[in-house]
Amino acid sequence: MTEKHKIRKWPLPSFAKTFKLTFLFATSTFILIPFYATFLGGFKSTGELRTQPFSLPEKWDLSHYQQILSDPSLWQMLANSFLYTFLTISFTLLIASMVAFTFSHIHFFGKRFAYSYLISGMMFPAATAILSLFIKIRDFGLLDSTIGLVLPQIAFGLAMSVLFFKSFFEQLPKELFEAAMVDGCSYLRFFFQIIIPLSTPILATVGVFLLVSSWNSYILPLILLNSPDKYPWTLGLMQFRGQYNVEWNLVLGYITVTIIPAIVFFLLAQRYIVAGLSQGAVKG
């Protein structure tokens, strides 16, 4: 065997590939380090948490997680969060998909103006309208009720959802719509029997965004709910805050337990999310 064949040359990565890998590694580290510190913080004492927040615990103390999991109020707040999130996702997906289908396949006077007006809602976060929203919900008599909390979350999630759905629906072949019309298919039948079965990826993608927004909502429940038995898990953090100190190890353990359902949902829907994003969910 010649010397030329003994030495194997490995191709050097290009600058673009090196930059991409470095960026992905830095982004992953930036996201994972807080998760790592939060998970371990639930096993540490307060003193160790302050002096060594990122190291492994000297002694794995399970008492904090046992205290959190044995508290009945945790399960009540998790059940409330499941209910609010389920209602928000279900109604937002239904309304937004029907509105987006109308904008993408039906022509009517003022269509572009109506769509621009609806999408402009993305520029206004919920915190900017919290006072007027509180007054309106109070006038309707919906304070401290499930519907009074879910309705604003649906309203604030519609603009982004319609944008994603409309972009996806416009990627579908127009021949489907034309063939269905020729066969006498109504709009509702075409939407529920043809469009919705083809929209699993975008439903999962939008559903995850809505899940994160509703599951982590803090300001709206704080303003609109008064009864502790209706609190979502985010308001449960207040029970670990005393007059002079905060039990950070309990707070970190509580956050670790309560974000597990969101992570599980994301992992289950991951395949559909990638498909939804790759099929035009974020185009135009």
pLDDT, tens digit, 9 for 90 and up, residues 213-252: 898 888 889 889 988 889 998 888 877 776 667 788 888 8
The pTM (predicted TM-score) of the whole model is: 0.80
What is the domain partition of the chain in residue ranges? 62-282
Q: 249: exposed, middle or buried (C-beta count within 10 Å: 0-12, 13-18, 19+)?
A: buried
259 with 236: CB under 8 angstroms?
no
Q: 188: exposed, middle or buried (C-beta count within 10 Å: 0-12, 13-18, 19+)?
A: exposed
Q: Which two tokens stand for residue 261?
A: 């359902």
Q: For residue 239, what is the DSSP state?
A: G
Segments of the chain with pLDDT less than 70: 1-13, 242-244, 274-284
Round to whole Å and give the CA distance between 77 and 55.
31
Backbone φ and ψ for 48, nearest 5 degrees, come out as -65, -35
CA-based nearest residue to 43, from 32, 59, 55: 59
Backbone φ and ψ for 246, nearest 5 degrees, come out as -125, 130
Q: How many residues comprise the chain?
A: 284
- Considering the domain 62-282 in this protein, what is its CATH number? 1.10.3720.10
Round to whole Å and give the CA distance between 281 and 284.
9
pLDDT of residue 277: 65
Round to whole Å and give the CA distance between 144 and 139.
13
Round to whole Å and give the CA distance between 40 and 49.
9
pLDDT of residue 283: 47
Alpha helices for 120-186 (secondary structure H): 130-139, 146-169, 174-182
pLDDT of residue 71: 84
One-letter amino acid for residue 148 of the chain: G
Annotate 240-269 with three-state secondary structure.
HECCCCECHHHHHHHHHHHCHHHHHHHHHH
Quick check: helix, strand or coil at residue 21? helix
150 with 91: CB under 8 angstroms?
yes
pLDDT of residue 196: 87
pLDDT of residue 249: 83
Round to whole Å and give the CA distance between 249 and 205.
33
Round to whole Å and give the CA distance between 283 and 270.
19
